[in-house]
Structure 1
Amino acid sequence: MKRWPAFLRAEEGVAAVEFALIAPILLIMLIGGTALEEAVVVSHKVTAAAHSIADVTTQYSTVANTDLSVILSASTVVLEPYPTTSAKMVVSEVQVASGGGTGTVVWSQALNTGPRAVGSTVSIPAASASSDSDTTYLILGEVTYNYTPRVANKFVPGITFYQSLFMVPRISTSIPLTTSSG
């Protein structure tokens, strides 16, 4: 009968060796899972911020540039505790002619980026387009956020989240931009 050398029969360090082999994989899964979970949270916050911008704006009968600045600045709070310096927010009123499909920007204001050009064309989703013969006005809230994971940001690339939302004005058919708060 052939006898194995003593070091091949030893079983004392098997658990330590197995742990040493599996630990890097577990660590990568932990870091990746944390970054993924944080990205999902940021994605939801970007959606909530776009909704906040459009929702608050639709509650005005007329709006001034100062009102829009306050709405955009206040909407950054939704993104906290994540850094808000990379958040680009735009609120616009879009005029949609009967038949829908596209709309024209009536006014626009932005935070940390340029506003949409007045008179520029915006694609309107089919669900938001009006089939009536009348002209419809919609408020468009947009948020673009460059997310960089806090954990393992050297290994996990950044992600750019974008969300836009159309809402119908609540008090009137359109919300004119005025020089004083309304």
Structure 2
Amino acid sequence: MAMKMGDIRRPALSMFRAFKRLLEDRRGVGAVEFAMIAPIMFIMYFVTIEASQAITTNKKVGRIASMVADLVTQQQDTVTAVEADAIMQIGQSIIQPYSRSQPTISITAIEITPANPASQVRVAWSRRQAGSGTGCPPLPALPQAGSPATVPTALNIPGTFLIRVETDLCYKPMIFWNDSQENALGFAAAFNDFPMHETYYNRPRMGTTIVCTGC
């Protein structure tokens, strides 16, 4: 039986009309657009939170150094090792509410001898309270009493005494941190640890030098 031309065109026309209705149908467009944009929005949200917390924590690292130096230089001519440790413990508490790692605080007393015949910059005593957190470059050894030291040119005044406080923190971003403290692998490892460092100098308030007994 011969098929008429109209019979051939009807299915094609029906398919064309169905395809046209599909293109003109706007139902669900909002859901599709949200599915495409939502991941970017969530990433931006978490990155903003992380950046804000990192900036706040970095400011606290500097605050620890200045506060510890201020408390040490307010002592009389002598400070004990126990008192120095207690001051550093107070400094470590400043980092809260961040708790994914703890800062390392180093106190170095530096004596700049009078210029007779030549001024020398040397370590009088030192003390360190180690924090927690691995993944950042290891810190150099704490300088021992009598070893040479370096200070900024503006502070290199013969016959003076300085207290130098260094604060180091291995910052761990919240996004890539896990409670088991296991090292991150792959892509996360590149953003898992950020070293933060601050150095602060101060002079004795109550005298010319500060001696640490037991350090």
Pair in the same fold by TM > 0.5? yes
C-alpha distance 105-23 of structure 1, shift in aligned 2 (>3 A)? same
Q: Does 1:141 align with 2:168?
A: no
Measure, in 1, the Cα distance between the counterparts of 2:201 and 2:23: 70
1:104 maps to which of 112, 122, 145: 122
Contact 1:31 1:152 in 2 (8 A): no
Measure, in 2, the Cα distance between the counterparts of 1:150 and 1:13: 35
Measure, in 1, the Cα distance between the counterparts of 2:42 and 2:53: 17
1:76 maps to which of 66, 89, 92: 92
C-alpha distance 19-158 of structure 1, shift in aligned 2 (>3 A)? same
| Structure possessing the higher radius of gyration over alpha carbons | 2
Q: Secondary structure at the match of 1:23?
A: helix
Amino acid of the structure 2 residue aligned with 1:16: A
Measure, in 1, the Cα distance between the counterparts of 2:152 and 2:45: 39
1:22-101 alignment runs, 5 A limit: 22-61=37-76, 62-83=78-99, 86-97=102-113
User: Which structure features the higher share of helix residues?
Assistant: 2
Contact 1:72 1:89 in 2 (8 A): yes
Amino acid of the structure 1 residue aligned with 2:86: V
Q: CA deviation at 1:98?
A: 6.2
C-alpha distance 175-25 of structure 1, shift in aligned 2 (>3 A)? same
C-alpha distance 66-84 of structure 1, shift in aligned 2 (>3 A)? farther
Q: Secondary structure at the match of 2:153?
A: coil
Q: Secondary structure at the match of 1:108?
A: strand
Percent of paired sites with the same residue:
26
Runs (4+) of structure 1 exceeding 6 A deviation are: none
Contact 2:105 2:166 in 1 (8 A): yes
Measure, in 1, the Cα distance between the counterparts of 2:100 and 2:151: 28
Measure, in 2, the Cα distance between the counterparts of 1:98 and 1:73: 34
Q: Secondary structure at the match of 1:123?
A: coil
Contact 2:165 2:201 in 1 (8 A): yes
Q: CA deviation at 1:96?
A: 2.6
2:204 maps to which of 152, 169, 178: 169
Please list every run of 5 or more consecutive structure 2 residues that lacks an aligned counterpart in the other structure: 1-15, 132-140, 178-183
Q: CA deviation at 1:86?
A: 3.1
2:24 maps to which of 9, 22, 30: 9
For residues 118-152 of structure 1, what are the alpha-carbon distances to aligned partners after superposition, in whole Å with 9 as ceiling and x for unaligned?
Answer: 2233331233332xxx3211001111111112234
Measure, in 2, the Cα distance between the counterparts of 1:167 and 1:160: 24
For residues 6-35 of structure 1, what are the alpha-carbon distances to aligned partners after superposition, in whole Å with 9 as ceiling and x for unaligned?
Answer: 111111222221111111111111111111
Question: Which TM-score applies when normalising by structure 1?
Answer: 0.84
C-alpha distance 121-111 of structure 1, shift in aligned 2 (>3 A)? same
C-alpha distance 21-102 of structure 1, shift in aligned 2 (>3 A)? farther
Question: Which TM-score applies when normalising by structure 2?
Answer: 0.72
